[in-house]
Amino acid sequence: MTFISKRAAKWKENRTFVAIMSRILSIDYGKKRTGLAVTDTLQLIAGGLATVPTVELIAYIKEYVTREPVERIIVGLPKQMNNEASENMKRIEPFVNTLRKQLPHIPVEYVDERFTSVLAHRAMLEGGLKKKARQDKALVDEISATIILQSYLESRRM
């Protein structure tokens, strides 16, 4: 049996290993607010977690990982259509470096986030949300983080 990480496994009293299922956290980083999504403990389903003011993001994540075991963190990689990094990348890189320093036991990976906002709006429309709800930028960010995470999960299954 393989274990996800040392953090995600515990010794039982009879000296056998018991796996503790852990989550994957996804981040759709924004200048003002950031959408977060998380998997279930079996890492099968992505679901929205919250939208957090970006200035409070590190503190929120540090508090979250004390409550829930997190195997890895996925950060949306903002790319333009020509495959070059978008303007937001200059804010994301320092954030990711800080995150890696503050939580060195949790790997952080980038995942292409192109079209996630478009897909989030489409999902809201197809889900029957009223126009007022579709204009909620915090909800769009959370759904975008969910789409990034679902994309990551699907890429692992291939």
Q: Is residue 46 part of a domain?
A: yes
Give the single-character DSSP code of 141.
H
Total domains in the chain come to 1
Percent of residues, the chain, with pLDDT higher than 90: 51
Residue 23 backbone dihedrals phi, psi, to 5 degrees: -100, 165
pLDDT tens digits along 43-97: 999 999 999 999 999 999 999 999 999 999 999 988 777 777 777 789 999 999 9
* pLDDT for the residue numbered 61: 97
Q: Is residue 1 part of a domain?
A: no
Q: Among 75-79, 96-100, 129-133, 154-158, where is mean pLDDT lowest?
A: 129-133
Give the single-character DSSP code of 130.
-
* pLDDT for the residue numbered 128: 73
Indicate whether 7 pLDDT > 50: no
Question: Does this model's pTM top 0.75?
Answer: yes
Number of Cα atoms under 13 Å in the Cβ half of residue 99: 28
- CA gap 144, 149 in Å, rounded: 9
* pLDDT for the residue numbered 154: 85
Q: Which domain holds residue 105?
A: 6-157
- CATH of residue 112: 3.30.420.140
**SS3 assignment, position 34:** strand
